[in-house]
Amino acid sequence: MGSAQEQNGGVSSSTVLNQGTATACKVSKAKKKICCACPETKKLRDECIVEHGEVACAKWIEAHKICLRAEGFNV
């Protein structure tokens, strides 16, 4: 029986795992619902709106939109 690297065609098992993880992240990123994306900016935006009103929270609203766009949503 050969080493793990030999069994994977000269590629170490950690490299295979890293590639698999990266692929899984891309898949899960695409399947993410808009309501579940960017929880940090969403929380800050929502708390600000409740306490100060929408007009006063433009910077948090825009920060959340930027985050959503980075996640692939068209907002």
In order of 12, 20, 28, the CA distances from 15 in angstroms are 5, 9, 20
Nearest to 63 by CA among 45, 51, 48, 75: 45
Residue 57 is assigned to a ligand binding site: no
Q: What is the dihedral sign for C-alpha 29, 32, 34, 38?
A: negative
Return binding residues. 35-36
Return binding residues for Cu cation. 35-36
